[in-house]
Amino acid sequence: MKRGLFLATFILTHIGFIFLQIHKHTQFIKQSYRKQKNEHLRDKLQHEQEERMYMLYALQDKPEIKKYAHNKLQMTYIHLDQIKKITDDNQ
């Protein structure tokens, strides 16, 4: 009787350990997929950040700003003799 109870407990314990090992392995695989997904997202965001920094530097380029103002906005250069001083009559 005691030997049968010991044998059943021994077998059930080992089956439980096998299920725990399988559970641990599936959790490890889930974490590795999650890590891989996060690394991919990080790389994508870094690439997007680099593109935006490039766009920012391109928008701050003074010759490009002058060319855009001249071509698209039809702005022209002004001379000092075209500037008039406006006085405030209230003073």
Predicted TM-score (pTM) of the model is 0.56
Who contacts 65 (Cβ-Cβ below 8 Å, separation ≥6)?
A: 59
The helix/strand/coil state of 50 is helix
**pLDDT grade for 91, boundaries at 50, 70 and 90:** low
Q: Which pLDDT score is estimated for 23?
A: 97
End-to-end CA distance of the chain: 114
pLDDT tens digits, residue range 7-59?
Answer: 999 999 999 999 999 999 999 999 999 999 999 999 999 999 999 999 999 88
**Residue 14 confidence (pLDDT):** 97
Answer for the pair 62, 68: CB distance below 8 angstroms, yes or no: no
pLDDT of residue 59: 84
Q: What is the reported pLDDT for 41?
A: 98
Does position 73 have pLDDT exceeding 80, yes or no?
yes
pLDDT score at 15: 97
